[in-house]
Amino acid sequence: MKMEKHFVTFYSPGTFVDEESTYPIKSWDVEEAKKKAKSITERHNATPYGFQFTTRARKDDELDSREVAQSPLYYLGGLIETLAEVKARATDKDSILISNMECNNWHRIITNTNSWKITKPLNKTDIVLPWPE
């Protein structure tokens, strides 16, 4: 027999690394996760910029569970820009961002300002949801 459980992990801006909060959830329900996101506040009043679902499972003869599935990252709104768009609107403050995009081969970025401003590479599988609602 196999036991499975679903989780949602919320990501919020942190001082050096993202703050993460993980909660059990009945299913990979985007609407339920969006509702939960509105109630989360991390250190320094940071609120989630996104979330991701995972499923963990184990068999009866296994002591610990392991991650067996992971959803794309869902961003709670944000501004999407390509490298060309960043270069076109660039100021002196954007030189490090442009360098990071070029060196790391980031074709698109997302900037989210739900709480503290974050800028991250936007991967092909990431999903940007309308926010706030």
- 132 lies in some domain: no
pLDDT, tens digit, for every residue of 24-58? Answer: 999 999 999 999 999 999 999 999 999 999 999 99
Q: Structural domain of residue 88, as residue ranges?
A: 78-123
Q: What is the DSSP string of 45-101?
A: G---SEEEEEEEEEETT-SS-EEEEEPPPEEES-EEEEHHHHHHH--GGGHHHHHHH
- Considering the domain architecture, whether residues 82 and 67 belong to the same structural domain is answered as no
Q: Sign (positive/negative) of CA torsion 87, 88, 92, 97?
A: negative
- Considering the domain architecture, whether residues 23 and 53 belong to the same structural domain is answered as yes
Question: Distance of CA 14 to CAs 43, 68, 89, 123, 130, Å?
Answer: 8, 27, 27, 21, 23
- Considering the domain architecture, whether residues 14 and 40 belong to the same structural domain is answered as yes
pLDDT of residue 115: 87
pLDDT, tens digit, for every residue of 74-114? Answer: 999 999 999 999 999 989 999 999 999 999 999 999 999 98
pLDDT of residue 47: 95
- Considering the domain architecture, whether residues 26 and 70 belong to the same structural domain is answered as yes
Number of domains in the chain: 2
Output the pTM of the full model. Answer: 0.91
- Considering the domain architecture, whether residues 47 and 106 belong to the same structural domain is answered as no
pLDDT of residue 133: 65
- 6 lies in some domain: yes
